[in-house]
């Protein structure tokens, strides 16, 4: 399985609740699908670290990425963001949360509600 697919599948599962599963927000890499509206989850990759300094030896690859929940309300951003944190902190999950941040981006036109952002930084071995 590819690294982007691993991250994408984890995030889709993390933001899907109930039975049958209802996805709280669409998930996409790098940019929000504008047709999907809000809330949305986007993810970006920070980089990969190879942990063995010896070139001839295959080493574990540590993948670092950020999952950002974009929402028109702080409560909704927090709810969806926390579902990602809880899923990553489960015992059987290979993801590890390294930090959580919250931010607000005002609307560019000054008329609409701005965007609340809940960012979870994660890492996993690939």
Convert the pLDDT of each residue in 15-59 to its tens digit: 998 878 899 999 999 988 778 889 999 999 998 887 776 777 777
pLDDT at 120 over 70: yes
Model pLDDT, residue 58: 75
Q: Cα separations (Å) of 12 from 24, 35, 56, 59, 112?
A: 9, 18, 36, 29, 28
The CATH classification of domain 3-125, taken from the options 3.30.360.10, 3.90.1150.10, 3.40.250.10, 3.30.2000.10: 3.30.2000.10
User: Could you give the CA distance from residue 57 to residue 63 in angstroms, rounded to a whole number?
Assistant: 18
What are the sequence ranges of the domains in the chain?
3-125
Residue 107 token pair: 């609307």
Backbone angles phi, psi at 92, to 5 degrees: -85, 0
User: What is the residue whose two structure tokens read 């047709």?
Assistant: 35
Question: What confidence tens digit (pLDDT) does each residue in 71-98 have?
Answer: 999 999 999 999 999 999 987 888 999 9
% of the chain exceeding 90 in pLDDT: 62
């Amino acid at each position: 399985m590819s690294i982007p697919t691993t991250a994408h599948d984890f995030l889709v599962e993390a933001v899907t609740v109930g039975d049958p599963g209802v996805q709280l927000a669409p998930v996409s890499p790098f940019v929000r699908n504008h047709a999907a509206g809000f809330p949305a989850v986007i993810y970006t990759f920070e980089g990969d670290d190879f942990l063995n300094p010896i070139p001839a030896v295959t080493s574990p690859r540590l993948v670092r990425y950020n999952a950002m929940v974009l929402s028109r309300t702080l409560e909704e951003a927090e709810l969806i963001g926390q579902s990602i944190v809880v899923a990553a902190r489960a015992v059987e999950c290979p993801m590890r949360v390294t930090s959580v941040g919250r931010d607000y981006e005002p609307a560019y036109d000054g008329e609409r509600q701005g965007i609340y952002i809940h960012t979870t930084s994660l890492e996993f071995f690939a």
